[in-house]
Structure 1
């Protein structure tokens, strides 16, 4: 199998959901999947089902909680560096055919990682591994290096009418 670099970005809903759909499809085809969630550290509903697929899908959360309304702490930066190191190790090992760095673009936009970090991650990808980077604000340099870029565009969202995340739909 030849692997490619995919980026799911934009201000619309569905970037992580698209990556998780790819993970399920890959697992269904017998491929091993690794999902490293930068920033996130919560009990999202999808984790409940992914636990049942632990023989083919590995999920690691590296976030320290929600800081998106405040400035990231040195601990948040350390957690992102640790995530980057582990995801790089998984890539180099080549034991997973699909590696997803969820919210990697956001981590870069928030200053937890640099553009150079994301480009180095792409450079570490063995040719047979599919690498997926998600999150709004993907740097132009990452978009240029990707083989597939999907931009989710917000057209209309019930969040704008005050509807919060609903269990099983958004969280």
Structure 2
């Protein structure tokens, strides 16, 4: 087991912690755990690349841990009415549709390798920023002006563009005659 994979496993363990903190209304711990999880994502990737500790297991676990954290936080923030429900439905639906496409292509014996697209990376970055801003506002009782509203619309746009881009790649892959 590599150090980056251990760090990724720890990120999985942070998800219940941030959910519990949010359920208890403990916004400072929720924010701190979320930030630590985000930092751990950067650290595990850095260590994996710098010390040649990249692994197949890590290539699967890392994005799953990221999605689990983001989706869990988004769902909790919507349940607590800090994010619009429609946005969370959109974000989660996009991820579910991507998973269905991957499974379907495998079942049809035409498996696809999903490589992150630039628009998807931007989408994830803005989702992280939105969650961090909402948690920071709740934790420290500050307001960053209209930043949250702007980020909601940026995440909406990027989620739609990302879903469309992945759909285009998938359709091309599935209809490609070899």
Do they superpose with TM above 0.5?
A: no
TM-score with structure 2 setting the length: 0.26
TM-score with structure 1 setting the length: 0.27
Work out which of the two has the higher radius of gyration on C-alpha atoms and give 1 or 2. 2
Q: Which has the higher contact order (CA 8 A, sep 6+)?
A: 1
* Larger helix share, 1 or 2: 2
